[in-house]
Structure 1
């Protein structure tokens, strides 16, 4: 073989080896890597946190990575580019409030309100959180416990701590799950979760379980999988931890005159509710704001800008967002709670035909606004209140009617 041919051959072999080394590992190889990671990486840290080898081995007995879970990055691969998404934030927010979905929570909530009246009254007395709020969260999260928890929490959390896009987050949760078992708060066999690793009927991540789960039925065990009193009181304790204000609701649906800019939205632009009222904002249905609320702080909330219902939210609305960071989730819980307490009645305002944007469209719009000096929070493709009000400010500055919600024409204008 000539020197030239040897050079070509060596180059070919090197290229082939590079391809083979970069290729995604087989499932069997990933299993082996997972076991090595458990013993050489996770176990030393778990040991320093007081986890026994018996607990550790029991938790991972027979556990393999679940490669069907979302947001994984296989060894040898790079994170995939996000595909088209269909969450409520990317279509019309009205889809999130489909009557069938809301009514399932409200009708189920009323049934369970009667069946658990004494428990709910005792919880409200201790924590100050109304029963209908707890029922709405319970219904939304797991259909009042009817939703199955088909996953082993250690399989989910272990997989995600090993090869997900949020390894650090899930590593913390995995170690917390081990602590739950180590402290005898739940046996390994009871640690059933959602595909995201959330536990039990309240859907607590393990760190939230350790902070907020309580034994309210007095049986000496914290059981958020089977005990209704423990489930409801744990939700209440969670909300109180994040600042639930006793004696206040979550907010009121209102009408906002054109003279009030939708760019005034947000929890950092609060005013006394009497001031909002003085600007012409009124409760729907001809109702007055409660006298006890007039001197208290409220916040303008317009989840679809001018293309949907508007609200004056209380600080408790933002406590609900601690359960799930979506404005629409918190609004669903507040609205559902109102309907459980007062009967089924939809919003007075209607949701306009807005949305139908990809997350990448909204992210591009956010980056364009940032380049012009606007604070959109972050260019994450989620049209939160900072993005919505920045849109409104840009529209006003450029002689357009402020809508405070992204649309295709706006994306094109700002490119």
Structure 2
């Protein structure tokens, strides 16, 4: 019986595979036609020459291994396949190897590039330690492999992804970069998402923010460390970095202060947070100029981990990458680079093993009760965290503001 089943499956595979291959071949042909009929006219209008266009797409075909693709003829509204099914504990983002490595190398880079870091900080107000931490996180200070052909990645995603319009604009921007000849050796490498160079800029960000840090008249974010530093500083400056403020502080959160007060829409002056009993974990007072400024409660693991008061600069870091944990990593590593601080004082607590689909079901349950969770995406952002806490308080329970199996069993839809 088993042998017969195997034979049947082999026969089916033999019958289906040629059809799949034929369909892919047709889509590949359609892609080449689309490049000529849709992308070339748009590129020409944007100032790209035909020689640049042809050189950029020479030998380029679709990359079928990229995530979030919607080939022609498939359902763009179908649920997205979950590539990372497990809901991750926030503490994993701060693995000792990643934090220590970025900090140690960052201190070496701070010495090596002290002059350009000082110049960029004077011009933009962005501390060198913050620039270094972003550089370390994005490309391991230029050591990370950036293996993809940017035109293949952006072309594929512009042709058949859920965010096709976004990637089409980025593809045209990449062609404009190629037209200027700023990419070294006319070779433009990117991540699987189309991000370029050591600071991992999308092409449109390169056109707006790439800066010349070494004075050679070019902005080379692929091979120039000085240009990389200057470009990251220019990006954060443009997005509103306030040179008078820090990024944030780890704090002690009294039991009397509800975790539902988290979020960038519930800011208070630091001196008002102090009146509620919030203090720095270091025992030192908040700087006087910071006490007058607005800050926001940020609890990436709810009551199951460290607590922070973050300034508007924290949200400038989120303009670079939308993740709370990314911005927190950058601020923390930056502090370790310059001030030699250690780990967070509060430990990361235990987090139940859950699937993102389970967290999404919990989010849908909260939405059904009228809570704004920021979308049922299986990621526990601040809106989801505080919605959990608000629901817990209506049940007469202590708010933890973080998903767990018990909460999921009661709320999942």
Give the TM-score normalised by structure 1. Answer: 0.91
Map of 2:81 onto structure 1 = 82
- SS state of the match for residue 134, structure 1? helix
Q: How many residues align?
A: 395
Write the deviation string for residues 177-204 of structure 1: whole angstroms up to 9, x where unpaired.
0111223433673311111110000000
Write the deviation string for residues 96-143 of structure 1: whole angstroms up to 9, x where unpaired.
101111001000000111111111111111111111101111111101
Write the deviation string for residues 279-300 of structure 1: whole angstroms up to 9, x where unpaired.
0001002111111111111100
Measure how far apart 1:272 and its partner are: 0.5
Map of 2:235 onto structure 1 = 238
For the residues of structure 1 that align with 2:185 and 2:66, how far apart are their CA atoms? Answer: 21
- SS state of the match for residue 311, structure 1? strand
- SS state of the match for residue 374, structure 2? coil
* Alignment of 1:61 onto 2:61: no
Write the deviation string for residues 220-273 of structure 1: whole angstroms up to 9, x where unpaired.
111001111110110011111111000311100001001100000011100000
Give the TM-score normalised by structure 2. Answer: 0.91
Q: Cα gap change, 1:390/1:70 in structure 2, threshold over 3 Å: closer, same or farther? A: same
* Alignment of 1:394 onto 2:371: no
- SS state of the match for residue 285, structure 1? coil
For the residues of structure 1 that align with 2:225 and 2:104, how far apart are their CA atoms? Answer: 18
* Alignment of 1:351 onto 2:351: no
- SS state of the match for residue 392, structure 1? helix
**Paired residue for 1:224, among 213, 221, 224?**
221
For the residues of structure 1 that align with 2:322 and 2:314, how far apart are their CA atoms? Answer: 11
* Alignment of 1:33 onto 2:27: no
Work out whether residues 84 and 359 of structure 1, in 8 Å CA contact, stay in contact via their aligned partners in 2: no
Aligned pairs for 1:161-180 (under 5 A) are 161-180=158-177
* Alignment of 1:183 onto 2:201: no
For the residues of structure 1 that align with 2:48 and 2:330, how far apart are their CA atoms? Answer: 37
For the residues of structure 2 that align with 1:24 and 1:172, how far apart are their CA atoms? Answer: 30
Measure how far apart 1:165 and its partner are: 2.4
- SS state of the match for residue 366, structure 2? helix
Q: Cα gap change, 1:67/1:107 in structure 2, threshold over 3 Å: closer, same or farther? A: same
For the residues of structure 1 that align with 2:135 and 2:184, how far apart are their CA atoms? Answer: 23
Map of 1:110 onto structure 2 = 107
Measure how far apart 1:22 and its partner are: 9.4
Measure how far apart 1:344 and its partner are: 4.6
Map of 1:313 onto structure 2 = 310
Give structure 1 stretches of 5+ with no counterpart. Answer: 1-18
Map of 2:295 onto structure 1 = 298
**Paired residue for 2:48, among 46, 51, 61?**
51
Work out whether residues 184 and 222 of structure 2, in 8 Å CA contact, stay in contact via their aligned partners in 1: no
Measure how far apart 1:74 and its partner are: 3.0
Aligned pairs for 1:6-17 (under 5 A) are none
Measure how far apart 1:20 and its partner are: 11
* Alignment of 1:333 onto 2:326: no
Map of 2:374 onto structure 1 = 377
For the residues of structure 2 that align with 1:234 and 1:208, how far apart are their CA atoms? Answer: 10
* Alignment of 1:146 onto 2:170: no
Map of 1:3 onto structure 2 = none
Q: Cα gap change, 1:84/1:45 in structure 2, threshold over 3 Å: closer, same or farther? A: closer
- SS state of the match for residue 308, structure 2? strand
Write the deviation string for residues 308-351 of structure 1: whole angstroms up to 9, x where unpaired.
00000011101101111010000000000011111150000011
- SS state of the match for residue 30, structure 1? helix
Work out whether residues 251 and 279 of structure 2, in 8 Å CA contact, stay in contact via their aligned partners in 1: yes
Q: Cα gap change, 1:278/1:246 in structure 2, threshold over 3 Å: closer, same or farther? A: same
Map of 2:358 onto structure 1 = 361
Give structure 2 stretches of 5+ with no counterpart. Answer: 1-15
State the superposition RMSD in angstroms: 1.9
For the residues of structure 1 that align with 2:374 and 2:19, how far apart are their CA atoms? Answer: 37
Q: Cα gap change, 1:81/1:314 in structure 2, threshold over 3 Å: closer, same or farther? A: closer
* Alignment of 1:262 onto 2:254: no
